[in-house]
């Protein structure tokens, strides 16, 4: 299973292999209701088979396409679940995500994956990083609302001891060692990790200088990893290490607020929860700003604000949508013809139909716009769809 991120979402939206099967289901995590999970799953698979056959795919071909999903149906798989399960299948493509949100049961078979139910999990990208500071076991994580993954970075030293070894090879060009202002000596050569004595003592000062140089190396390697990134970075670890790292830091999006706890006490779920509490408000700022701008443009009678679904679908396809608001859990079925720019809306889904809200969201993302999937009651003026155009 892969961690859900905006990059993952783009991979799904960019897939052109057809047909595309998207399955969503809520999961029961405890109690006798968990026995319903495999039953619901089999029902969704049968529904997908029927829809594939309705699209003129024979039974054997449909079974072959769905086989990777059917292989998930094991006792071990059902014992380790989150609140929701999302599965995506196309020729040569199989991805699934166990996620902390309760999806509505949904099967969509179309020429694109149906990704709108995932959007609340990654609104405004939702990606962040955690650097768990330690003198003995430094770790780096990438996170989203759905969880954390530890990331291995080549040449990133995990401990002060490793940094000492790296320092010995620095003259061969493998690492850059920073030196404090007014100093030409390398503290690694005169101090070792370990205890130090007394506030302001030489041993303490030398050891803190060694930690600073260690963090300069860490920052240098992270600079290569984060060169094009804008996601927030959170420091985690005992509090006295935070200001030392900040002296070495060169990453623009390091947050002021950190997590102060001894690294050996970190449980990954607790670390994720602490970090999400810090970053979640940041990820809602652009949504609120876009909502205010939409209301302002609408009040001014500007042609760059619209709630006309047919106009928005065509604009999304032709790269005009800058910001799009769509309601969670609602679909509007139909077809869009890019040659005639005609949009047909159907009250019930027909073979080869798409959720037009999902279509607009996919093309807005592919064309560099922002999509905000919100609860229906939080939509601007409780509309079915709303958009800000680039022009």
Give percent of the chain above pLDDT 70: 87
d(CA 174, CA 257): 32
* The model's pTM: 0.60
Q: For residue 63, how many C-alpha atoms fall within 13 Å in the half-sphere facing its CB?
A: 3
Residue labelled with tokens 């769809």: 385
Residue 113 has pLDDT above 60, yes or no: yes
Encoding tokens for residue 99? 């996620």
Q: Residue 224: which CATH number?
A: 3.30.420
Dihedral sign (CA 265, 267, 268, 273) = negative
DSSP element (H, E) containing 132: strand 128-132
Q: Report d(CA 84, CA 99) in Å as an integer.
A: 5
Classified as helix, coil or strand, 267 is coil
Q: Which two tokens stand for residue 153?
A: 């970075």
236's CB contacts (< 8 A; 6+ apart) are: 130, 131, 132, 133, 258, 259, 260, 261, 263, 266, 271, 274, 275
pLDDT-derived band of residue 178, with 50, 70 and 90 as boundaries? very low
Q: Are residues 311 and 375 in the same domain?
A: yes
For 56, which DSSP code? T
SS3 32: helix
Q: Are residues 246 and 260 in the same domain?
A: yes
| Closest to 25 in 3D by CA, of 91, 95, 81, 92 | 81
Could you tell me which residue, 201 or 58, shows the higher pLDDT? 58
Distance CA(136)–CA(213), nearest Å, equals: 15
Domain check: are 231 and 254 in the same one? yes
Domain count, the chain: 3
**Within this chain, do residues 311 and 379 fall inside the same structural domain, yes or no?**
yes
Note the residue count of the chain: 391
Residues ≥6 apart with Cβ < 8 Å to 147: 3, 100, 272
Element (H, E) at 53: helix 36-54
How sure is the predictor about 193, in pLDDT bands with cuts at 50, 70 and 90? very low
- Tell which of 249, 281, 313 closes a domain: 281
Q: Which of residues 122, 152, 173 is at a domain's end? A: 122
Is 292 part of any domain?
A: no
Q: Are residues 266 and 135 in the same domain?
A: yes
pLDDT at 350 over 90: no
Tell me the per-residue pLDDT of 128-152, one tens digit each, with 9 for 90 and over.
Answer: 999 999 999 999 999 987 788 899 9
What are phi and psi for residue 125, nearest 5 degrees? 75, -55
């Amino acid at each position: 299973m892969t961690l859900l991120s905006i990059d993952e979402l783009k991979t799904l939206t960019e897939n052109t292999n057809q047909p595309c099967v998207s399955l969503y289901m809520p999961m029961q995590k405890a109690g006798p209701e968990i026995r319903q999970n495999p039953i619901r799953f089999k029902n969704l698979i049968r529904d997908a088979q029927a829809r594939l056959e309705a699209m003129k795919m024979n039974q054997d071909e449909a079974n072959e396409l769905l086989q990777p999903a059917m292989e998930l149906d094991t006792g071990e798989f059902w014992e380790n679940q989150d609140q929701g399960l999302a599965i995506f299948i196309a020729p040569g493509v199989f991805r699934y995500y166990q996620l902390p949100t309760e999806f509505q049961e949904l099967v969509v078979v179309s020429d694109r994956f149906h990704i709108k139910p995932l959007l609340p999990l990654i609104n405004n990208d939702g990606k962040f990083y955690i650097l768990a500071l330690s003198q003995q076991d430094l770790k780096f994580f990438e996170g989203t609302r759905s969880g954390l993954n530890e990331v291995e970075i080549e040449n990133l030293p995990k401990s002060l001891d490793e940094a000492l070894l790296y320092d010995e090879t620095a003259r061969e060009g493998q690492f850059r060692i920073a030196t404090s202002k007014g100093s030409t000596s390398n503290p690694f050569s005169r101090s070792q990790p370990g205890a130090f004595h007394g506030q302001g003592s030489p041993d303490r000062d030398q050891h803190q200088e060694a930690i600073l140089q260690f963090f300069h190396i860490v920052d240098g390697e992270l600079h290569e990893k984060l060169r094009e990134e804008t996601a927030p970075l959170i420091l985690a670890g005992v509090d006295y290490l935070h200001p030392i790292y900040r002296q070495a830091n060169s990453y623009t999006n390091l947050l002021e607020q950190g997590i102060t706890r001894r690294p050996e006490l970190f449980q990954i779920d607790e670390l994720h929860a602490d970090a999400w509490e810090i970053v979640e408000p940041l990820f809602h700022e652009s949504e609120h700003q876009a909502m205010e701008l939409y209301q302002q443009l609408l009040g001014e009678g500007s042609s760059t604000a619209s709630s006309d679904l047919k106009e928005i679908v065509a604009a999304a396809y032709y790269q005009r949508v800058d910001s799009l608001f769509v309601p969670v859990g609602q679909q509007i079925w139909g077809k869009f013809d890019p040659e005639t720019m005609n949009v047909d809306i159907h009250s019930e889904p027909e073979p080869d139909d798409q959720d037009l809200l999902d279509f607009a969201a996919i093309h807005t993302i592919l064309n560099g716009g922002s999509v905000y999937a919100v609860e229906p009651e939080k939509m601007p003026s409780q509309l079915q769809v709303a958009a800000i155009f680039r022009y």
